[in-house]
Amino acid sequence: MAAAAAVVTPSGLEDGASRSRGEGAGEVVVERGPGAAYHMFVVMEDLVEKLKLLRYEEDLLRKNNLKPPSRHYFALPTNPGEQFYMFCTLAAWLISKAGRPFEQPQEYDDPNATISNILSELRSFGRTADFPPSKLKSGYGEHVCYVLDCLAEEALKYIGFSWKRPTYPVEELEEETVPEDDAELTLNKVDEEFVEEETDNEENFIDLNVLKAQTYRLDMNESAKQEDILESTTDAAEWSLEVERVLPQLKVTIRTDNKDWRIHVDQMHQHKSGIESALKETKGFLDKLHNEITRTLEKIGSREKYINNQLEHLVQEYRAAQAQLSEARERYQQGNGGVTERTRLLAEVTEELEKVKQEMEEKGSSMTDGAPLVKIKQSLTKLKQETVQMDIRIGVVEHTLLQSKLKEKSNMTRDMHATVIPESAMGSY
């Protein structure tokens, strides 16, 4: 049944998927219906079936020690880093299976370069990728499912695989020997079971092909004797024997399904009875454990009270010592504060003393040193020289001034004589 499902399911889904996606699912349908959000789940289920056909469990997973992905692994977000690594590994393996050399990506490779290489290989197969490469970084989503599905299709084409119509097994019309249990129903209960199946939405498979074939043969055999049946001359005893003989063939076999609610109810009752039986034994152990823990706690409490009574005087002494220690710490803090203040005052006094010492040293050095006297003598000598030079300059200036005065006086005298002589000359004329 698993092999048949692996052949039947992808063929039906592949046609629908190819019609909805176009050539290789690259052309996105313009009008997306309400079920478009769930289309990637269908593509993911197709992808899992195609990977099984490519024997990826033996060729890829076991060699790389990878866990097989679930049927909705790339459709739902679980672990983006792990999903992206799984996507790159599967894509590289599918490209290699399609006949193209492609290196297996490593964990520390650049994801942008890896995605670019995968998309370039996808386009080389003639597939379209009308979406940004960043859509593949998350490692899940419809674009991831689309890329892997396209690569899986190319790999199947390369190995020469082609989808065929499913072949259903022909069931032989033989009497089945089944145990007498709830799986057998007589024809009187068939209608009731159909009504229950419709109301409960069950998926039980009823082997009605056998019933239809038997009914068809009976109709063909009885159609020739229709007039005799209308006027029956059969004995009632013979009719009862015939009914008993044919009765096993009139039973309808219902194949049990794991989804049957009756099986679930039976399992629930079995589990309930098992839980109740286990609870009885466990409850006794738990009660015993509870009693032991209670007695132990009582003993611990009594011992604690006894120890407290015996060590009460020591506790009081310890408390008194703690009080004395706290008082000593307070006195120490107060004394430490006084020492700090006195240390600060000592530092200030020491600083002033250093200043006074420095001033005294400067004055003593100035009193004992002869350099100032030498400087004073040199200054006096220089003053005397400057005084002599000034006297010479003063004498020169006085001499120059005296000459200028004498010259001015002689000029004035000359002018006065010049003015007197013309007047006397005019009087003579």
Print the SS3 string covering 142-200.
Answer: HHHHHHHHHHHHHHHHHCCCCCCCCCCCCCCCCCCCCCCCCCEECHHHHHHHHHHHHHH
Average pLDDT over residues 364-368: 74
Integer Cα distance of 66 and 56 in angstroms: 11
Q: Is residue 109 part of a domain?
A: yes
Cα distance between residue 123 and residue 125, in whole Å: 5
Which pLDDT tens digit goes with each residue over 273-296? 999 988 888 988 899 999 999 999
Percent of the chain with pLDDT over 90: 21
Q: Distance (Å, rounded) from C-alpha 238 to C-alpha 250?
A: 18
DSSP state of 238: H
Is residue 190 over pLDDT 60?
A: no
**182 in any annotated domain:** no
Whether 423 maps to a domain, the answer reads no
pLDDT in tens, 327-347: 999 999 988 888 988 999 999
- Structural domain including 114 reads 37-159
Answer yes or no: are the C-beta atoms of 71 and 174 closer than 8 Å. no
| Confidence (pLDDT) at 424 | 53
pLDDT digits (tens, 9 = 90+) for 391-410: 999 999 999 999 999 999 89
Is 324 contained in some domain? no
Where on the phi/psi map is residue 201: left (φ > 0), alpha (ψ -120 to 50), or beta? Answer: left
The answer as to whether 87 is a domain residue is yes
Q: Is residue 47 within 8 Å of residue 149, measured between CB atoms?
A: yes
Both tokens of 233, joined, read 């001359």
Would you place residue 1 in the very low, low, confident or very high pLDDT band (cuts 50, 70, 90)? very low
Task: Report pLDDT digits (tens) over 150-167.
Answer: 988 888 888 887 777 777
> Is 131 inside a domain boundary?
yes
Number of folded domains in the chain? Answer: 1
Residue 51: inside a domain, yes or no? yes
Is 289 part of any domain? no
Most confidently predicted of 7-11, 197-201, 222-226, 301-305: 301-305
In the chain, the amino acid numbered 128 is T
Q: What's the pTM value of the predicted model, to 2 decimals? A: 0.35
